[in-house]
Amino acid sequence: MKPTNRKSLPVLVKYLALFIVFPFFSKCQDKLSDGLTEEKSNAQVSVDETYRGNLLFNSNLKFFRYRPRSKDSADGKPMRERVIKHLKDLDVWGVRESVGVLEVNRLKRRKGSFIDFPYMDSIYRRLDEEGIRYATELRLDRVVANPDNFGPVWEENARYVVEEIGKYYGTKPLYYSAVNEPFLPGMREDGVPLTVDQVMRVQEVVYTTLKAVNPEIVVLSCPISGGRIDKGVELAERGITQYCDYFGVHKHNDIGEDGHNEGGTDVWRIIDRAEEMGYPRRPMVMDENGTRLTLPQVWEGATEADARTYKARWIGNDLVQMKALGFKYIVMYAVIKSQANGGEYNILDKNRPLANGFERYEREYQAYKELWRLEPHLLSNGINGGFEEANPDKSRGWVVCFKGNPRIGMQTSVPQEWESVDFVKNDPSGAFKGNNYLKMSKPVRPLTQISANRCRRLVEGLTPGQRYKLCARVKLTGAASKANLRAMGFDVLGKEKAEKEVTYAESDGKYVHAEVSFVAGNEWAVISLEHNGAGTASWDEITFTK
């Protein structure tokens, strides 16, 4: 055995010390730098709280990941930048991203655990730089250690994690949510859905913790899927609205009042019930919204192009329906990376990337780009209330509403409901004024997809607290004919209505004046012209004024 070389010992000890001490020192430095990053981040970013339109997206940037504590992966950063480029092109207000899966690993966080904010900031800071807001999913069911099934140990861990995140990000997110779709087994790692008791407990812990950090932080209830409205009512009865600023819901495929199993008006039944039980009435957030390609279900010969044309029309229809229901935040599902139904919800195709980004499903992409921005709907631009300007597509401008998930009779990508609503041109004898008007008639086919003829227009740029007046001229034929002039979506709490019904007896085949007024609670309203499908209704000279 060779004797030890004593001269080499100091060198060996030095390297051993570096090996043992450096990771600890590095981690301490990380914690120190976290504090510095927090101060710098909060100081630099000014949060724009002004209303910026309608479009938020489930962007799934979290899937284009960083390597832990290192540089970007070979494809992570370029892919994220391509998606962000499209988000900017679409002029989105914000995106929905999850803090929970932005972590370096799947270790469950306990009280005192290290939280890698610089790693999460790899995405959030880029969004800050681009002026894109984000809705933050905490995903506590996946992030927080839960050894006692939502008992006191879990609560201690959860409050620590939520407090640290709340202190770091503050009011930069549009809102925070705790657990995604808590009643769906497929959303849970263990496949066991949460109970109403557990959701109430999670919501109370998150809400009280974040409000203690900063009362201005906005908290969404754990968003429920549209098929779980009954669970939402149960949560309302238990007092969920005490622990949220907005109630969150998800919806896919169907839209508006006639949705199949997911009717939009059902969600307000939840808030109505909360108020009946003596709990606060809260506004609503559509935290996930979208449709897959439903047309082939009812039309065997439908091609992908047919279905995408139909979906593009759905996008314009969906906008007015969601705004008519009063949703301030509407998160569309999804930009990219959704695996649901083979990626049919996506508007960027991840399987066919181009040199400058991802291949777009062009008709759908353009529908979002052209229709979901603020500018096309501003009251200052006029509403074409005399129908004298061309209405190029019944899903744009004045939108003829249709059911989003057709079940019968489809042999074309043109919605059946469009057949009974017509923009009549060059017929001064039928107009109240000018040459053009809108005509609603008895449906051509015996069974309609929706319960009435509806033509709607979104009006943006309203001043909350200001009174507005909506007027129209309407002419009815047919003894059973009825028409309704409605203003919708203007109330932040979904409670106030403005409606005027006109019967044939009042019209007797002549144009009559209809008028409603309301005080805006939101920055928008939806004008709705409706007819029961008996006889005809002619509409002209729609005005919207202060």
Average pLDDT on 486-496 reads 95
User: Could you tell me if 194 and 73 lie in one domain?
Assistant: yes
392 has a pLDDT exceeding 80? no
171 has a pLDDT exceeding 60? yes
Among 497, 338, 312, CA closest to 394: 312
Q: Among 373, 393, 428, which residue terminates a domain?
A: 373
CA distances from 155 to 107, 110, 201, 204, 283 (A): 17, 10, 9, 10, 27
Instruction: Say what the pLDDT of residue 31 is.
Output: 36
User: Could you tell me if 392 and 340 lie in one domain?
Assistant: no
2 has a pLDDT exceeding 80? no
User: Could you tell me if 104 and 20 lie in one domain?
Assistant: no
User: Could you tell me if 152 and 246 lie in one domain?
Assistant: yes
The phi and psi torsions of 225 (rounded to 5 degrees) equal: -75, 155
- Which of the 8 DSSP states describes residue 425? -
204 has a pLDDT exceeding 90? yes
User: Could you tell me if 165 and 70 lie in one domain?
Assistant: yes
Cα separation, 538 vs 439, whole angstroms: 4
More confident call, 25 vs 266: 266
User: Could you tell me if 357 and 451 lie in one domain?
Assistant: no
Give rounded-to-5 percent helix, strand, coil for the chain: 35, 20, 40
User: Could you tell me if 140 and 26 lie in one domain?
Assistant: no
The answer to whether 387 and 500 have CB atoms below 8 angstroms apart is no
For residue range 451-469, list pLDDT tens digits in order.
789 999 999 999 999 999 9
Cα separation, 203 vs 247, whole angstroms: 11
Name the token pair of 322: 């969601």
Three-class SS of residue 453?
Answer: strand
Q: Residue 29's pLDDT band (boundaries 50, 70, 90)?
A: very low
For residue 226, give its domain range. Answer: 45-373
Q: Residue 298's pLDDT band (boundaries 50, 70, 90)?
A: confident
User: Could you tell me if 60 and 22 lie in one domain?
Assistant: no
User: Could you tell me if 365 and 445 lie in one domain?
Assistant: no
Instruction: Say what the pLDDT of residue 122 is.
Output: 80
Name the token pair of 429: 């004898």
Tell me the residue ranges of DSSP E strands in 93-245: 94-98, 133-137, 176-177, 224-225
Count of domains forming the chain: 3
For residue range 230-259, list pLDDT tens digits in order.
999 999 999 999 999 999 999 887 766 665
Cα separation, 369 vs 392, whole angstroms: 16
Q: Among 373, 388, 407, which residue terminates a domain?
A: 373
Average pLDDT on 265-292 reads 93
User: Could you tell me if 38 and 128 lie in one domain?
Assistant: no
| Range scoring the smallest mean pLDDT among 1-10, 105-114, 220-229 | 1-10
Q: Residue 508's pLDDT band (boundaries 50, 70, 90)?
A: very high
User: Could you tell me if 126 and 253 lie in one domain?
Assistant: yes
500 has a pLDDT exceeding 90? yes
User: Could you tell me if 428 and 445 lie in one domain?
Assistant: yes
Q: For all residues of the chain together, what is the average pLDDT?
A: 86
Q: Among 316, 348, 373, which residue terminates a domain?
A: 373
Instruction: Say what the pLDDT of residue 245 is.
Output: 98
Taking the CB of residue 318, how many other CB atoms lie within 10 A of it? Answer: 29
Find out whether the peptide bond into 483 is cis, omega within 30 degrees of 0: no
Q: What is the pTM of this model?
A: 0.88
CATH code of residue 533 = 2.60.120.260
Cα separation, 324 vs 318, whole angstroms: 10
In the chain, the amino acid numbered 46 is S
Q: Residue 265's pLDDT band (boundaries 50, 70, 90)?
A: confident
CATH code of residue 126 = 3.20.20.80
Average pLDDT on 112-133 reads 88
CA distances from 441 to 403, 453, 477, 503 (A): 18, 8, 9, 15
